[in-house]
Amino acid sequence: MLSSTFLGLISAIYVATIYPGHAKAEISGSNSITPHDYVGLGSGLENNPPWCGMSYNTLDIGRITAVQGLGNKADCGSCLRIVTDAANCGAIPPIPFKEDGNIDEAKFQAEKENYQKNQVKAIAEGRSETDGMGSEQEGCKGGNGSKRWIYVMAVDQGGQGLDVSRVSFSALFQQPSNPTAATWETVDKAFCEGIELGEGGEGIKNYSKVSDIKVHTGDDPSADTPGSS
């Protein structure tokens, strides 16, 4: 008679073979990604969990993301490294933002007015209205190397490629709203330490702010190690 242990092993192999969708997959991609204002939804998140099913209070909502096409529950909680070129930062005119990642409207209006005045002056002097204004993106400030990257946790479906918490998005791209090119891949979950708060957590209120997000810089993100500064 076959032992129960042996039969269990055969059953597990059968399930993995016939139902490969139940196996954890590697999430990766490349696209222009978008910000999502989890913080702005506030208490509205309490009774509306993400597709993965966990409570938002058990998560640091400043460091999470939705993934376009996420369809395997086994991928919930995956840690993703999001990488962008150091040139993919900022905006012209600049879009000032607050610690929760949202636009600082008063400062933004001042920036737009200054930008428009410079346009009028350029035209009056016979120059292009964009002369001296820079390109659509002005490049990142701070750090060294050609790349910038952060770590976030996959908890939901949606977005354009990724729909990243606006807090982390603003920290990475130094602007809070314009879809921006990036690549992403699954990495060791140790890189996402501190995102899962557990039962009794208050992630909706006590989330990481923009200045709390560790933005790594360099030329080789794959050389990063968990806990590296």
Token readout for 169 is: 């998005």
Determine the Cα–Cα distance for residues 161 and 34; give it in Å rounded to an integer. 8
Mean pLDDT by 10 residues, the chain (229 residues): 41 34 74 94 93 96 96 94 91 75 72 66 61 52 84 93 96 92 96 94 94 94 83
pLDDT score for 106: 75
Token readout for 47 is: 């009774």
Please report, for the chain, the start and end positions of each structural domain, with discontinuous segments joined by +.
27-220
The helix/strand count (H/E) of the chain reads as 4, 7
DSSP designation for 19 = -
Token readout for 189 is: 């979950």
pLDDT score for 90: 80
Token readout for 129 is: 């209205």
Residue 30 CA to chain centroid, in angstroms?
13
pLDDT score for 118: 64
Question: Which residue is listed with tokens 């500064």?
Answer: 229
pLDDT score for 21: 44
Token readout for 38 is: 């989890």
pLDDT score for 140: 73
Four-residue CA torsion sign, 14, 17, 21, 23: positive
Q: Which of 60, 81, 70 is nearest to 24 (CA)?
A: 70
